[in-house]
């Protein structure tokens, strides 16, 4: 087998020297504090069975995908599901993509044009950054959740810019914190900018029916676009861009990650629909998750751990433990004691900001939360 070019081998060697080499983890039976299955939908038997029954009732017998949505892949379940999603999120339209990555790349690479300016939070997800990099627009980052820094940047470009886009996330994946979206929307309207919010880690977590942060604040009519990802709270494949009918039409015509890829199978789309239907009716899991988030924060205070954690009221809780080797060692000890807690090392996060990332779920017990934090306290103090 032909080996890698030497330049690529050196890059791998450097990662190994820095104790930052990524490897695919094996499956395990540890107590889950690592997955994004916040409300347990990925293992929900009711959703699984309802999806099967739905496909039987519709007499849909296609097992797999058949082509691009612009060719043979746009089966009838897409229309029903996108209509339901739009109704659920109180928006004109939704457009399903194969993943959150595809949605962000498709949106940001096609919508901002040459001479436009994109201002994005410095901690925005890699998929947003990749989409922006593929755009012809100019892009500048503002300090994390810093509205003063954002406004300074806005003032630099309001006079000579065709269009201005402001980009943030409602829940940041590596910190779990939330920006002041009301004030950010105020700035976008003041300077006639277009606000785009990625809600990947808010669906199923925030709001009375898990609708996300934007909608729980009643801001949906004024946000230009939202990206909703199903691979977290809904426990299934895919994502959607929420916005106007004209935005949907534009993306169908110009978003290359939608046009030039095979559409999701009828089973995948039916699973999204049934997950949304279940989310609309099932509030117990959401309430239990919210209760666990409160309890986790109370336990941090009780055990004196609050100073090492990033402030968060979401399902993502991160303890800053600088140094790749140190954070990996503590994660390994937690795993050896039965808790699946993952280390996040540089360069995924900046050097010195390495961390343990705790993902909370509706199915975690208070006893499990107390035990894992008590164990953590013995390792860090």
pLDDT tens per residue, range 288-302: 999 999 999 999 999
Which residues, 6+ apart, have CB-to-CB distance to 48 below 8 Å? none
Residue 238 lies in a domain: yes
Phi, psi of 161 (to 5 degrees): -115, 140
> For position 241, what pLDDT does the model report?
98
> For position 371, what pLDDT does the model report?
98
pLDDT at 61 over 90: no
Measured CA to CA in angstroms, residue 252 lies from 52, 111, 372 at distances of 29, 11, 46
Looking at the fold, whether 305 and 267 belong to one and the same domain comes out as no
Mean pLDDT in residue range 252-256: 97
- DSSP state string for 163-223: -EEEEEESS-TTT-----HHHHHHHHHHTT-EEEEE-TTTTTTSSTTS--HHHHTT-TTT-
pLDDT at 247 over 90: yes
pLDDT at 380 over 90: no
Looking at the fold, whether 131 and 213 belong to one and the same domain comes out as yes
Q: Are 316 and 170 in contact (CB under 8 A)?
A: no
Mean pLDDT in residue range 69-77: 89
Residue 212 lies in a domain: yes
Lowest pLDDT segment from 16-30, 178-192, 358-372: 16-30
> For position 86, what pLDDT does the model report?
98
Looking at the fold, whether 266 and 369 belong to one and the same domain comes out as no
Q: At what angle do helices 245-254 and 100-110 cross, to 10 degrees?
A: 90
> For position 77, what pLDDT does the model report?
94
Looking at the fold, whether 165 and 293 belong to one and the same domain comes out as no
Alpha carbon distance 318, 309 (integer Å)? 5
Strand positions, DSSP E, the chain: 31-32, 93-97, 117-121, 138-142, 164-169, 194-198, 225-229, 239-243, 316-320, 339-340, 342-344, 355-359
Residue 174 lies in a domain: yes
Model confidence pLDDT, tens digit, residues 217-244: 999 999 999 999 999 999 999 999 999 9
pLDDT at 93 over 80: yes
Boundary (domain end) residue, out of 214, 248, 281: 281
Residue 371 lies in a domain: yes
Q: Which domain holds residue 354?
A: 28-42+283-380
Q: Which residue, among 236, 206, 235, has the nearest Cα to 226 in the 3D structure?
A: 206
Model confidence pLDDT, tens digit, residues 306-320: 999 999 999 999 999
Looking at the fold, whether 37 and 117 belong to one and the same domain comes out as no
Mean pLDDT in residue range 7-13: 93
CATH number at residue 259: 3.40.640.10
């Amino acid at each position: 087998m032909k080996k890698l070019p030497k330049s690529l081998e050196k890059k791998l060697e450097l990662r190994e020297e820095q104790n930052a080499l990524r490897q695919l983890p094996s499956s395990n039976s540890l107590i889950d504090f690592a997955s994004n299955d916040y409300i347990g939908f990925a293992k929900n038997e009711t959703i699984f069975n309802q999806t099967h029954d739905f496909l039987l009732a519709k007499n849909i017998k296609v097992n797999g995908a058949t082509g691009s949505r612009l060719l043979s892949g746009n089966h009838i379940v897409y229309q029903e599901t996108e209509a339901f999603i739009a109704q659920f999120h109180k928006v004109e339209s939704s457009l399903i993509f194969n993943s959150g990555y595809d949605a962000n790349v498709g949106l940001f690479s096609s919508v901002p044009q040459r001479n436009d300016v994109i201002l994005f939070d410095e901690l925005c997800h890699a998929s947003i950054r990749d989409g922006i990099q593929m755009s012809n627009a100019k892009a500048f980052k503002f300090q994390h959740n810093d509205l003063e820094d954002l406004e300074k940047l806005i003032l630099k470009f309001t006079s000579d810019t065709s269009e201005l886009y402001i980009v943030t996330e409602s829940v940041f994946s590596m910190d779990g914190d939330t920006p002041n979206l009301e004030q950010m929307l105020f700035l976008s309207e003041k300077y006639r900018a277009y606000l785009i919010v990625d809600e990947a880690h808010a669906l199923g977590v925030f709001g009375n029916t898990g609708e996300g942060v934007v909608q729980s604040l009643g801001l949906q009519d004024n946000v230009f676009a939202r990206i909703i990802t199903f691979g977290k709270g809904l426990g299934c494949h895919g994502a959607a861009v929420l916005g106007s009918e004209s935005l949907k039409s534009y993306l169908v015509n110009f978003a290359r990650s939608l046009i030039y890829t095979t559409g999701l199978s009828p089973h995948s789309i039916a699973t999204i629909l049934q997950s949304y239907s279940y989310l609309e009716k099932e509030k117990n899991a959401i309430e239990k998750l919210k209760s666990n988030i409160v309890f986790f924060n109370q336990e941090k205070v009780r055990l004196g751990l609050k100073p090492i954690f990033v402030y968060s009221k979401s399902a993502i809780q991160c303890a800053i433990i600088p140094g790749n080797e140190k954070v990996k060692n503590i994660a390994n000890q937690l795993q050896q004691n039965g808790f699946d807690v993952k280390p996040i090392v540089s360069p995924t996060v900046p050097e010195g900001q390495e961390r343990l990332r705790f993902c909370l779920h509706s199915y975690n017990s208070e006893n499990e939360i107390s035990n894992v934090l008590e164990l953590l306290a013995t390792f860090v103090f």
